[in-house]
Structure formats: structure tokens, C-alpha cells
Amino acid sequence: MVEFTHEAAEEKLCLAYAVSVHKSQGSEFDTVILPVVRSQGGMLQRNLLYTAVTRARKKVWLIGEDGAVEKAVRNNKVVKRNTSFSKAVTASVAAGVENRDGQEKIQL
């Protein structure tokens, strides 16, 4: 456990909010503190760990349970998203939907 005096906290700490790994893509931060626990189950994936760690410019702290990082590194499965987006685009293009200007439009 890390303890700060009130004075040290005012001097060294600033207010911050949690950001998900997905939301952090494309961003950088001086310091990243990443909780890594085995109960995260399916979220312990190599690609998500890589993304989280590479958001840090200066320091990254991995905080959690023994074995959780190793579990994430071993898990290189990418979860496939099940959406109907590609079917909707394909159907709209095949139907040749047009807008009022007579130009083809895709309706989702």
C-alpha cells in the first residue's frame, strides 16, 4: 500500500479519471497505472495489454495478482465481434437504394 501525507498528496497527485484500454487507443499519457487481475477473465488478452502498456510515455505500473500478466501474454485470441453491420451494408448496396438526388445511398 502507498501512503501519502496530505501535503505530499496535494503536491504530487492530481485528479484523474479511469480510461478504458479501448478508449485510450491513439492517446498517450506520462504515466499509466494498469490493474491486472485474473478475475478480468476474457479481458486478459495480449493485444489489450500491449495497447495499455504502450500508452505510457514515461512510466507504466502493473498492479494486481501474480500470474495475471502471464495469463494475458499467453492469451493471443482475438474475440470476434458478432454484428450485422456487414450484412446491412451488403444488402443496401445490392438493393441500390437511392436518395432524393438520384444518387445511390446506403441505408443501415
Q: What is the pLDDT of residue 102?
A: 61
Grid coordinates in use for 76?
Answer: 493471443
Does the pLDDT value for residue 100 go beyond 90?
no
Q: Average pLDDT for residues 79-83, to the nearest whole number?
A: 70
Summary mean pLDDT of the chain: 82
Among all chains, which residue has been given the C-alpha cell 485510450? 24
Identify the pLDDT of residue 18. Answer: 82
Q: What is the pLDDT of residues 33-65, one digit of tens each?
A: 999 998 887 789 999 999 999 999 999 999 989
Q: Is pLDDT above 70 for 83?
A: yes
Residue 107 has pLDDT above 60, yes or no: no
Give the pLDDT confidence score for residue 97 in this predicted structure: 61
- Reference 97, options 86, 108, 87; nearest CA is 108
What is the distance between the alpha carbons of residues 59 and 22, in angstroms, rounded to a whole number? 19
Using pLDDT thresholds of 50, 70 and 90, give the confidence band for residue 94.
Answer: confident
- Provide the pLDDT for residue 52: 93
Q: Write the CATH number of the domain with boundaries 16-77.
A: 3.40.50.300
Residue spans in the chain of domains classed CATH 3.40.50.300? 16-77
**Residue 89: its pLDDT value, please?**
78
